[in-house]
Amino acid sequence: MLIDFNNLNINKLSFQTEFEKKVKIFLEEWFSEKTGVNVQTSGSTGVPKIFEIEKKKMINSAVMTCNFLGLKKGNTALLCLPVEYISGKMMIVRSIERGMKLTIAEPSLKPVEELDEEIDFCAMTPLQVENSLEKLHLIKNLIIGGAAVSESLKNKILEMNLSASNCIFETYGMSETLSHIGLKQLMPEQQDYFTVFENVFISLDNRGCLKIFAPNVNDEELQTNDLVDIRNEKQFRFLGRIDNIINSGGAKIFPEALEALIKKEIPNEAVFIGLPDESLGQKLILIIEGDESDEVIKKISEIPFEKSFHKPKEIIFINEIPRTPNGKVNRLELYKSINANL
């Protein structure tokens, strides 16, 4: 279904599917006299929780994204993310704020399968993009969030030979920042650093973790557990989560950095974890999604790891890596599952 937010009359719209009815519930909540709306966190870094967000701060967030991308009244957008989470809610709010024409598509692995004409704006998860490569040329501005974009996916996007008018970005943010506070361009130029929006201030704590002060969307300074390299007052590079660090024989290992290296060579999802070990403290284990493959093992063995202790002590293949409801790898559940079966 299509909702024209430049000429909206909810009573004249026909919400048929369960997902469309969820969109209707959100719209009724948004246009009610309430000053806030409830948002659910993904649970990828802890227990899922529900908290209330002020509508005016969601509008501020929408303005920052729309200004950065140059979105304007009458543009077309596509919603294909769950509206329980901030990602889906903010797609609707951006469309409301700019008066865009929003197409509602059921969240799925192939959300743009039926798309046959150009649209100005869409947000998808990496997994959705992976299954929508042949349609990317129809999306003028695509933002990818919910999980890190793998090197393998970046390469697949580059291989599509998109035009310079197709702009693709990776996002950085969380529920508390009302979706993202910065974007990193993947196409037409591939950048290494995220650029934060106007009136967003970044700094480091004594652990090297990112601190964010974005008064337009959150009154408090937010402390993350994300280890970053700050290039200047507007740009930073993500290194990994401090709570994911693996301490093996006294050496600190950032699994996300090694995963990015692995995914340049193999198409499979790959996750490093540290399992208890009497001599090392933690033993570096590589988990690969898919059937066991001698070819994959050979490719990994040929990777020139920077340090000898970066090479996994063991490689385990599993059918499916556990994920949160919005597609992020659930490292805690993966660790519990692997540890219980060894």
Residues 104 and 117 in one domain: yes
SS3 (DSSP) at 283: strand
Question: The CATH number of the domain where 221 resides is what?
Answer: 3.40.50.12780
Helix H or strand E segment including 306? none
End residue of a domain, out of 226, 241, 256: 241
* Rounded Cα distance, 186 and 182, in Å: 13
Residues 237 and 274 in one domain: no
Residues 235 and 253 in one domain: no
For residue range 218-246, list pLDDT tens digits in order: 999 999 999 999 999 999 999 888 989 99
Show the DSSP H helices in the chain as ranges. Answer: 18-30, 55-69, 86-98, 126-130, 151-159, 255-262, 294-301, 331-340
Length of the chain measured in residues: 342
- Average pLDDT of the residues in 43-58: 76
Residues 175 and 217 in one domain: yes
Residues 36 and 110 in one domain: yes
SS3 (DSSP) at 15: coil
The answer to pTM > 0.75 is yes
pLDDT of residue 43: 54
Residues 212 and 305 in one domain: no
Residues 20 and 162 in one domain: yes
Residues 79 and 177 in one domain: yes
Question: The CATH number of the domain where 330 resides is what?
Answer: 3.30.300.30
Residue 220's domain comprises: 2-241
Instruction: Inform me whether the pLDDT recorded for 143 exceeds 60.
Output: yes
Give the residue carrying structure tokens 């693709």: 168
- Comparing C-alpha atoms, which of 210, 142, 125 is closest to residue 176? 210
Residues 230 and 252 in one domain: no
For residue range 144-184, list pLDDT tens digits in order: 998 888 887 888 999 998 999 999 999 999 888 888 999 99
pLDDT of residue 319: 93
Main-chain dihedrals φ then ψ at residue 9, nearest 5 degrees? -140, 95
- Average pLDDT of the residues in 73-83: 96
Residues 232 and 95 in one domain: yes
State how many domains the chain has. 2
